[in-house]
Structure 1
Amino acid sequence: MMTKAWPRYLSYAVAFSLVFYIAYLTPIHSDDFAYYNIGLQWSAHVSHYLSWSGRLVSDYISPILLHLENDVLRSGILALAVVSMVALLAKLPALVLKQQASASVFVGLFLIYWITNPTLGQTIFWTVGAANYLFTNLAIVIYLYCLIKYMQSSQSILWWVGVLIISPFAAFSNENTTWIVLLFSIVSTYYLMRYQQDRKIWLSSLIIVLGFGFFILSPGNAARAASGAFDEFYAMSFTHRVWDFMLYRYPTGLSRMAPALLIFIVLWLVALKNQMSAQYKRISIALVLIGLLSLLSMVMSPLLSARSTSGPILFVLLGIAVLLHYLMHHAIAQWKHVYRLTLAAIVGVFVASYGMIFHSYQRLSVQGQMLNNAIEAAHANEIKAPTLPEFYYVPSLRKRDSYDAHYSSGSMATYYGFEHIDLKPMAFDYSIMMEYLPHQAQNNDLGIQGIYLAPEGIFGQKTTIVLDMLAQQQTHDVLELIITNRSGKTVTLSLPMDAVPIHGQWIMGGVVKMKMQEIVRIEGMLRSSNSVATQPVTIYGE
């Protein structure tokens, strides 16, 4: 038995390690500060529920994880949640069809989950994002698993208790998935009542109905809607809202689901060409339709963020799991090349995506260390309102692989024990200062004493330039850098004269579309607000 199971456990361990390392590299950011500050007291969460958000469960998970204050443990929990969710998704088709699950389905589904998730950084590696989207999706999958096991086990008390325990967590999932949980509950209750004369399941349905009501009708949701931020939306008529959603936001949501839908369509056609049974057809199509219905449930919401599609994509992934289960347990005679090419493309995109994310989050981790050092220095010097740089995300395969860029300087100041923090947006990766030595700037009257150069990204098609300034520079002037390569081509980089303190230095910088090894000269000149410019002076190179 163990001999047959080891490939599955090995695949779990590899997937866990891949997620764990990126999660471990991710520094605390965005709403992490605010939810840490809320704390663990029940009264604080009741107040939050009444005044801001109906997500009572996920809003409690966030501070629990953050108050662990152990990066290894927290990262391990996030990685375990991902592996558990994908493993259960991969197992559900085998469970429904009463067949054997396989490691190959898990591996395929894990790769597809990674490359089709439109916001990896915001739904897995960001603690608050994971609480809102990863753990809630996991609760739904556990609910489905327990419900199916209960239906198949002659109304086992053990699985009935499991359904009852997970029901409130599944009901308090997300605005576009709680409806689907309610739908599953009603349908399963009707089936068990009608065909198995089971009345115990009504208790689970009651819990889900109550959870659904407390979630959707929460005072916090109403208070946020009345805050004034969405007055224009709520001023629309019902018909106008529906029309606006179907014309603009629904197509946008579908575009974010497109990779998952495309993979489903290709695999469905391959399976169809290879005598897929009607049972597989019905189940897989029904799950995708449920995903589209889940997205449609956002019709009355003023916003449809990219991470909101994680719920609808969950059901598409479940449909893909059904197809993978069929294809990996049957001989592929037709469209074999299409099937193999699709799998190869999935693996190729995953390898490229993971490699670039690996590099980007390593840079984020170093920036986080520099930020912590700056905070310690500010406390040591009794600075009450320090100026700090924001993080900069080195681009990866997709823009939304990055962390959540929202910041509340007030929450951050409270977390670190300051009166105020002045956060400065950054347009370059300042972590290169920790790994590269500066070039001595040539004599100039621009206030530049050193220049850091480093390739940006794993391919190095661009160059990061960081200027070490003599002192704080904060004027209305613009510093223009003229960068020349070996072939004589020039690129101009315009930088506001607003230096930021970090690592004991005042820095400015940017990124240029030129390989570092091709740069032979950098000139600089100041341009004032009335467009008067100084003469360019060479600060680096020939």
Structure 2
Amino acid sequence: MSRKIYCLLASLVIFALVLIPSLHTPMLSDDYYYISIANLHDQIAHYREWSGRILTNMLSSYMMYYVPHALYETLTAIALTATICFIACIPNALMKNELNFHPLSALGLFALYWIANPSLGETTFWFVGAANYLWTTFYVSFFILTIALQKPKITWWKLPFALLLGFAAGCSNENTSIVTLLLTISFIIYKKNLSAIYPYLIGLIIGIGVLLLGPGTANRSLYFTDWHNLTMLGKIELQLFTRMPDSMSIFWQIYIVIVILAFLIGLNGSYSKKHIAFSAIFFVSAILCNAAFIASPFMPPRAYSGALFMILLSVSFLTSAVLDNKKTIYEYTGLSIAGIFILLYFIPSYYIMTNAILGSWNQEKIRLSMIHEQVSRGIKEITIPDLYMPKLIKSTDGYPVYKHPARNDFFHVNSINEEQTQFDYSSLNKQKTFVVNSSIYKEIMLDKVTFYTEHLYGSEKIILKLSGDINRELNDGKVIYVHLFMDNGKFVNKDTAMKAIFIDGSYYTYTNTTDIDFSKIKQIELGMYDAKTGAPFSKLVINI
């Protein structure tokens, strides 16, 4: 097959891998606010009061309001796929003025994007986060690729497109836009081709002006009083010795790949020095993207995405240098080592993250059902379980934790209280379960006992499903005893007084059993007793 076919297949693989979790990401955090301001009046007010990212804000608001969830998530998956392909294309665009890429380069870059992403859930799957970071990276990558391919003369009909694309790249996000401007000016000087690039440059400058000079940007900054109270020396110290090490160290997997590729290039002196030079330029650009936050009072992990984009461009040039040249056994060996290293992290990360997102989607169905049921009964103070996500490869990979109060208005209630849970309650029907349906104390019924396991790695619990207000009894000094009799004759005590969570019509409590092998449990005795006197009230026996 031709390279074009392989490139198409690589693109489809990337798209499919992103689409699966994207389609199953529920509405989160600020989504509820931005869907409520899908009109020009509120957008202008938001620009004046809070955020200069007017293009991003309008994209997220109008997409969520007017476009079905499945469609805007599909478009986001397309945007990420296109961004990866653009990054893979840029070396040949700059070096040869050709629009093509090596399929292995695209696949490797995507895997690195995934495993080294500073905040995967917030930048890629949470839609408002994706609008602020993934979509803006799409604009900038498309901008760089376009000017790299621009011919010496620009035709008149391309002028509106050039201005619009430049504006989108400039109005992307604060740190990346400034670095993109520096790169564009450097490219113009390098190519000596201002006459063909100037419309893109004008649009870029206008976009940066709209972004950085927006009154909302300044207003939001005022909320960070601790940062404003720092002296200039204090801000420099914070940036150099706290923020920069944190923001650059998260890309350590990429550094290892860079070292491997640089070693391969060093073995063969025939590689183009331009590849190395451009790689170095974009590596420095990654540092500048994070260094630009010296002027920002806030630098969350998701803000490192601009640096991630630039450092992936750096990798792309090195990868292009190795893949597009004649390879010896050394190159094949080095590329194999790099590939195995990347897959070692990508496969478990993708499996765990995607399963966590699928679980959150099913949990959200339960949560929404509970909200609608309570609203139908006229309840204005809603209680639901929170979204549970298992342990991820990186702690920063999860969803945003902020609960925007606009969600209350969305459901027409006064408040929505989320009770913390420690298990995926949507997966209980897939776990090994024993039906009991017996009284554990007076009118309180023990309905089911579930052996709960999170695969690969995670927690194990015995979860009890109960009917009746068990928390009233637990608060009154009673304890649920859970006695495990193992097949080797040993007895393990797993009593619990853990507060039960009300989920979809039943109460659930649990006891941690991380140290227990479920397959070796022979019998379980359960019941309730008085914590002060030790007097038992009931006894139930489950033979495994």
State how 1:266-415 maps to structure 2 within 5 Å: 266-275=260-269, 276-330=271-325, 331-334=327-330, 336-408=332-404, 410-415=405-410
Query: Under a length normalisation based on structure 1, what TM-score does the superposition of the two structures give?
Result: 0.89
Question: CA distance change for structure 1 residues 19 and 274 in 2, over 3 Å: closer, same or farther?
Answer: same
Query: Under a length normalisation based on structure 2, what TM-score does the superposition of the two structures give?
Result: 0.88
State how 1:198-277 maps to structure 2 within 5 Å: 198-199=194-195, 201-227=197-223, 230-275=224-269, 276-277=271-272
Q: Is the 8 A contact 2:167 2:205 kept in 1?
A: no
Amino acid at match of 2:147: L
Question: CA distance change for structure 1 residues 212 and 224 in 2, over 3 Å: closer, same or farther?
Answer: same
Aligned to 1:449: 446
Hey, what's the Cα distance between the residues in 2 that align with 1:131 and 1:320?
24
Hey, what's the Cα distance between the residues in 1 that align with 2:88 and 2:480?
55
Q: Is the 8 A contact 2:465 2:508 kept in 1?
A: yes
Question: CA distance change for structure 1 residues 323 and 480 in 2, over 3 Å: closer, same or farther?
Answer: farther
Q: Is the 8 A contact 1:466 1:508 kept in 2?
A: yes
Hey, what's the Cα distance between the residues in 1 that align with 2:216 and 2:483?
53
State how 1:399-438 maps to structure 2 within 5 Å: 399-408=395-404, 410-436=405-431, 437=433
Aligned to 2:115: 115
Displacement after TM superposition at 1:477 (Å): 5.9
Displacement after TM superposition at 1:383 (Å): 2.4
Amino acid at match of 1:263: V
Aligned to 1:517: 519
Question: CA distance change for structure 1 residues 46 and 510 in 2, over 3 Å: closer, same or farther?
Answer: farther
**2:61 pairs with 1:63:** yes
Displacement after TM superposition at 1:125 (Å): 1.1
Q: Is the 8 A contact 1:370 1:503 kept in 2?
A: yes
State how 1:174-193 maps to structure 2 within 5 Å: 174-191=173-190
Picking from 437, 458, 475, the partner of 2:455 is 458
Q: For residues 288-316 of structure 1, what are the alpha-carbon distances to aligned partners after superposition, in whole Å with 9 as ceiling and x for unaligned?
A: 11101111111232332111111101011
Hey, what's the Cα distance between the residues in 1 that align with 2:75 and 2:219?
33
Hey, what's the Cα distance between the residues in 2 that align with 1:441 and 1:189?
76
Question: CA distance change for structure 1 residues 333 and 470 in 2, over 3 Å: closer, same or farther?
Answer: closer
Hey, what's the Cα distance between the residues in 2 that align with 1:493 and 1:53?
51
Hey, what's the Cα distance between the residues in 2 that align with 1:318 and 1:62?
26
Aligned to 1:47: 45
Q: Is the 8 A contact 1:292 1:312 kept in 2?
A: yes
Q: Is the 8 A contact 2:165 2:203 kept in 1?
A: no
Q: CA RMSD in A?
A: 2.9
Displacement after TM superposition at 1:522 (Å): 6.5
Hey, what's the Cα distance between the residues in 2 that align with 1:460 and 1:515?
14
Amino acid at match of 2:161: G
Aligned to 2:70: 72
Amino acid at match of 2:261: L
Question: CA distance change for structure 1 residues 25 and 511 in 2, over 3 Å: closer, same or farther?
Answer: farther
Displacement after TM superposition at 1:516 (Å): 3.7
Aligned to 1:467: 464
Shifted more, 434-443 versus 357-366: the winner is 434-443
Hey, what's the Cα distance between the residues in 2 that align with 1:491 and 1:306?
42
**2:166 pairs with 1:167:** yes
Displacement after TM superposition at 1:325 (Å): 1.2
Question: CA distance change for structure 1 residues 452 and 523 in 2, over 3 Å: closer, same or farther?
Answer: closer
Hey, what's the Cα distance between the residues in 2 that align with 1:131 and 1:538?
55
Structure 1 unaligned segments of length 5 or more: list them. none
Question: CA distance change for structure 1 residues 512 and 298 in 2, over 3 Å: closer, same or farther?
Answer: farther
Question: CA distance change for structure 1 residues 481 and 264 in 2, over 3 Å: closer, same or farther?
Answer: farther
Displacement after TM superposition at 1:129 (Å): 0.8
Hey, what's the Cα distance between the residues in 1 that align with 2:400 and 2:501?
22
Hey, what's the Cα distance between the residues in 2 that align with 1:277 and 1:425?
56
Q: Is the 8 A contact 1:482 1:492 kept in 2?
A: yes
Amino acid at match of 1:121: G
Structure 2 unaligned segments of length 5 or more: list them. none
Aligned to 1:12: 11
Q: Is the 8 A contact 1:367 1:431 kept in 2?
A: yes
Displacement after TM superposition at 1:493 (Å): 7.4
Aligned length: 529
Hey, what's the Cα distance between the residues in 1 that align with 2:300 and 2:328?
39
Displacement after TM superposition at 1:138 (Å): 0.5
Aligned to 1:28: 27
Amino acid at match of 1:34: Y
**3-state SS, counterpart of residue 386 of structure 1:** strand
Displacement after TM superposition at 1:218 (Å): 2.4
**3-state SS, counterpart of residue 25 of structure 1:** coil
Question: CA distance change for structure 1 residues 349 and 444 in 2, over 3 Å: closer, same or farther?
Answer: same
Amino acid at match of 1:471: G
Amino acid at match of 2:106: F
Question: CA distance change for structure 1 residues 391 and 60 in 2, over 3 Å: closer, same or farther?
Answer: same
Hey, what's the Cα distance between the residues in 1 that align with 2:403 and 2:478?
26
Question: CA distance change for structure 1 residues 191 and 493 in 2, over 3 Å: closer, same or farther?
Answer: farther
Question: CA distance change for structure 1 residues 181 and 379 in 2, over 3 Å: closer, same or farther?
Answer: same
Hey, what's the Cα distance between the residues in 2 that align with 1:343 and 1:491?
47
Displacement after TM superposition at 1:212 (Å): 1.7
**3-state SS, counterpart of residue 237 of structure 2:** helix
Displacement after TM superposition at 1:65 (Å): 2.3
Amino acid at match of 2:242: Y
Question: CA distance change for structure 1 residues 7 and 234 in 2, over 3 Å: closer, same or farther?
Answer: same
Question: CA distance change for structure 1 residues 93 and 506 in 2, over 3 Å: closer, same or farther?
Answer: same
Hey, what's the Cα distance between the residues in 2 that align with 1:201 and 1:493?
71
Amino acid at match of 2:109: L
Hey, what's the Cα distance between the residues in 1 that align with 2:288 and 2:5?
38
Aligned to 2:81: 83
Aligned to 2:36: 37
Aligned to 1:143: 143
Question: CA distance change for structure 1 residues 515 and 366 in 2, over 3 Å: closer, same or farther?
Answer: farther
Hey, what's the Cα distance between the residues in 2 that align with 1:279 and 1:429?
51
Q: Is the 8 A contact 1:25 1:365 kept in 2?
A: yes
Q: For residues 423-478 of structure 1, what are the alpha-carbon distances to aligned partners after superposition, in whole Å with 9 as ceiling and x for unaligned?
A: 22222211134445454276533956134424433336632443323333264869
Amino acid at match of 2:203: I
Q: For residues 87-144 of structure 1, what are the alpha-carbon distances to aligned partners after superposition, in whole Å with 9 as ceiling and x for unaligned?
A: 1111111111215522222222222222221222111111111001000000000110
Q: For residues 133-186 of structure 1, what are the alpha-carbon distances to aligned partners after superposition, in whole Å with 9 as ceiling and x for unaligned?
A: 000000000110111122x45434455543321111111111221111221233
Shifted more, 201-210 versus 115-124: the winner is 201-210
Q: For residues 259-315 of structure 1, what are the alpha-carbon distances to aligned partners after superposition, in whole Å with 9 as ceiling and x for unaligned?
A: 222322222222222323311111111111110111111123233211111110101
Amino acid at match of 2:18: V
